[in-house]
Structure 1
Amino acid sequence: MTDKNTFTLVNPQTGNLAFKLFSFEENSSFDHIQRLNYYSLIWIKKGSGKVKVDFSEYDFTENQLLAFAPYQPFMLTAVDAIEGVVIHFHPDFFCIIKHHNEVACNGVLFNNIYEPPYVFIDETAKATFNMVIEQMKTEMQNPALAQYELLVSYLKIFLITASRLKKEQQPKELSQVDDNSAPFILQNLKSYIELHYKTKHSASDYADLLNISPKALAKITKNHFNKTLTDLIAERIIIEAKRELYLTNKAVKEIAFELGYDDEHYFSRFFKNNVAISPQMYRDTVGFARGMS
C-alpha cells in the first residue's frame, strides 16, 4: 500500500503484482500504449475520451467499465478530464479461464472479439461496485486470515455483476446495425468463425460460407465491429493460442498445428505480430510453465 488511494498485493513467491486497486484523477497512467501482464478493469466515473484497443478505437464516457486481458494493447485519450477506479489482477491471483464456470466473464468482458471492450454501468451496478470496492479496501488495509480468498470472492462479485450487465447490453449493440440483414449475417459469421477458425483463415472462406461477396461482408464487418474480418479471425486464433499456452504444457509446434499452421515459425511470427511477444515468452510470463516453476 503506497497511499490512501492505492492498495497493492504482491505475490511473495514470484514478486509479481497479484492484485491492485487504486483511484485516479488524471490520465497519465494510460495515455500511452499499455501491454500489461495482468487483467485490468477501469471504471470511468467522470469524463470522456477515446480508447484504442487491439485494432480498433471507441468513444467512452462516464459510468463505463473498460476491461482488458493480459498483453492486450490499449491506450486512453481523455477529451474531458477523467476520474475513476482501477482494478488490476494477475492470472496467478485469479484465472478467469480456469474459473469460467463460476464467473462466466471470459468471452464476455474479456477476450471478446465481437464487442467493444466496455460495459455501461447502471445505478444498481454502481451501488454494487462501490460496496465491493470499499470491502476490498478494508480487507487490504487490515490483512487477516484468508485475505486472498476473501479478495477473490469480492472480485468474483464484481466480475459477475459486470458480465451480466454486458450480456444484457449485447443484443442492443447488434440491433443498431443499419443494414436490416446485417444482424443475421453477423450472428452467422460469429458461429462460422467459432466453428472453423482452426481450419479457415481467410476472409474469402467466410464470405463463401455466408454466400455473400467478400466486399459486402467486409463493409458489414467494418461498420459493426470497426475491424476487418481478417482481424476478427486472427484475434479468435490468438485467444485460443493464449488459452493453450496458459493452460497446457503442449509444445508451441503442437499448438500451431492444432490451429491450422504447419509451419511453427510462421505461427510464432503471426502470434508476435498480434501480441507483441513470442508464444514462448507469453507462456513464461503468464502461462503454464510459470505456474509449474
Structure 2
Amino acid sequence: MFTTTEDKDIPRYAFEPDAATGHPMFRIDKNREIRNYRRLDFFVPHRKDYYFLAFVKVGSSRHWIDMKSYVLQPDTLYFTVPQQVHLKEDSDAPLSGISVCFSEAFLAAAEGHFLKELPLIQNPFNGHELKLNAADVVFVEDMLERIYTEYHTAGQWQQGMLMAYLKVLLIYLSRLYTEQFAASDAVPEKRILKQYLAYINERYTDSHEVADYAAVMNLSAGYLSEVIKAQSGKPPIAHIHERLMLEARRLLLHSELSVKEIAFELGFEDDSYFNRFFKRLNGQTPVAYRTDTRKMYH
C-alpha cells in the first residue's frame, strides 16, 4: 500500500487532455463495467493537480483520501480537490458511472471566479463523499448527461455551455455539501474568514504566523484575530496549525520522507521543534503516528 516513487515524496499528476477531443482543461468520461483501472500508478499514494467528480452508478471498491478510507457506493457522488492524497485499491467488481475532471485554469475562466468560491471547491471540511437521494440522482444524472453530450458535440460556444452546465451542477452539489458536512452557522461563508483560509492553503509552508496573513490582507493582527474567532469559533493560529497538521499526517502516512524532510517541506527550520509541535497537537510523536497509523491501515 505504501509504495512510493524513488524520491520518496508523493507523486503529483497533472491534468491529461482527452485524446479524442483535445480539450486542454476539461474532460468527462463514461465508465461502463470497468474491472481494472486504466492507470496502475493510481494504486500508489498520489495527488491530482485538478478537480475530480465521480458519480458511481453501479459497483464498489475501496479508495483512500488522505487518512480516510471509503467503500464506493452506488448512487453516490465522490469528489476530490487538488492537494488531497489519493490511493485506489484494485477490485474484480465492475464499476460504472460518469467522471468529470477540470483544471484550475478552467475554473479561473469563470466570470468573477465565482466557481472557486463554492463550498464544494473550497472544501473547508476536507470532504470526499456526497450521499444522493432519489431526486438528487435524477438531477445529477441529467446534468452529467447534458455535459457529456455538449462535450462530444463540439458546437459553437461549447466552452460557454460546458461552463454553464458545470456551474449549475457545482451549485447544486455545494448545497448538498453544506447540508451534509456542517450546520449552516458553521460553514465559513464570511468574506474575511474565507479569504484567510484561502491564503493559508496557499502559503502555509512559508507563513506560520497570524501577523504574516494579516499583513497580506491589509488588516491588523488584532482585528483579524477578533474576526476569525467570531466567525469560526477558533483563534486564527488554530487554522494555520490544522493545515500544517493535515499535510504532516498526509506525508507521514503516504510518503517515505523522513521526519526531518517533512519538517523542512512544511517550513520548519528545526525538526526538533516540528517534533514538539506535532506531539503537542496530535498527542504522539511523528514516528509513533506513522507506525500506528500504517498498522491500522493495513
Query: How many angstroms apart in 2 are the aligned matches of 1:79 and 1:192?
Result: 46
Deviations 1:135-188 (A, max 9, x none): 22222232222110110111111111111112112248xxxxxxxxxxxxxxx9
Unaligned runs of 5+ in 2: 1-17, 184-228, 250-260, 268-298
Q: Separation in 1 of the partners of 2:174 and 2:102?
A: 17
Residue 43 (structure 2) aligns with: 32
In structure 2, relative to structure 1, the CA distance for the partners of 1:87 and 1:194 (3 Å cut) is farther
Q: What amino acid is the match of 1:55?
A: M
Take 1:195 and 1:233, find their aligned partners in 2: how far apart are those partners? 18
Query: What's 2:172 paired with?
Result: 161
Residue aligning to 1:231: 245
2:87 is the counterpart of 1:75? yes
CA deviations on 1:15-43 (whole Å, 9 max, x unpaired) are xx311111122251465144322111011
The question of 1:114 aligning with 2:125 is answered yes
How many angstroms apart in 2 are the aligned matches of 1:99 and 1:80?
43
Matches within 5 A, 1:2-21: 9-10=21-22, 17-21=24-28
Q: Secondary structure at the match of 1:92?
A: helix
Matches within 5 A, 1:74-153: 74-77=86-89, 78=91, 80-95=93-108, 101=114, 104-105=117-118, 108-112=119-123, 114-153=125-164
Cα 1:195/1:147, change in 2 over 3 Å:
same
Residue 194 (structure 1) shift: 6.9
Name the aligned partner's letter for residue 53 of structure 2: L
Of the candidates 59, 69, 85, which is equivalent to residue 71 of structure 2? 59
Runs of at least 5 residues in structure 1 that lack an aligned partner in the other structure:
1-5, 12-16, 173-187, 204-228, 236-264, 272-293
Give the whole-Å Cα distance in 1 for the aligned partners of 2:180 and 2:29. 27
Structure 2: how far apart are the matches of 1:43 and 1:194?
A: 37
The Cα shift of 1:96 comes to 9.4
Q: TM-score, normalised by structure 2?
A: 0.51
Cα contact 1:48–1:81 (8 A) shared by 2: yes
State the secondary structure of the residue aligned to 2:120: coil
Q: What is the aligned partner in structure 1 of residue 29 from structure 2?
A: 22
Partner Cα separation in structure 2 for residue 98 and residue 196 of structure 1: 32
Secondary structure at 2:64 match in 1: strand
Partner Cα distance (2:21, 2:27) in 1: 6
Conserved 8 A contact 1:10-1:18 = no
The 1:268–1:153 alpha-carbon spacing in structure 2 relative to 1, beyond 3 Å, is: farther
* Residues 98/152 of structure 1: CA separation in 2 closer, same or farther (3 Å cut): closer
**1:97, CA displacement in angstroms?**
9.7
CA shift in 2, pair 1:59/1:80, >3 Å = same
Equivalent AA in structure 1 for residue 51 of structure 2: Y
Q: Which residue of 1 aligns with 2:209?
A: none
State whether residues 57 and 96 of structure 2, in contact with CA within 8 Å, keep that contact through their aligned partners in structure 1: yes
Q: Under a length normalisation based on structure 1, what TM-score does the superposition of the two structures give? A: 0.52
The answer to whether the 8 Å contact 1:46/1:62 transfers is yes
Aligned residues of 1:104 and 1:160 also touching (Cα < 8 A): no
- Asked if structure 1 preserves the Cα contact closer than 8 Å seen for 2:65 and 2:84, the reply is yes
**Are positions 1:269 and 2:265 aligned together?**
yes
Aligned-CA RMSD value: 3.8
Distance 1:194 1:29 in 2: 45
**Does the Cα contact within 8 Å between 1:65 and 1:118 map onto a contact in 2?**
yes
Task: Tell me the SS of whatever aligns to 1:44.
Answer: strand
Residue identity in the other structure for 1:140? Y
Distance of aligned partners of 1:161 and 1:113 in 2 relative to their CA distance in 1, 3 Å threshold: closer
User: Is contact 2:54–2:77 with CA below 8 Å preserved after alignment?
Assistant: yes
Contact 2:107 2:115 in 1 (8 A): no
Partners of 1:192 and 1:234 in 2: how far apart? 24
Residues in 1 aligned to 2:82 and 2:98: alpha-carbon distance in whole angstroms: 18
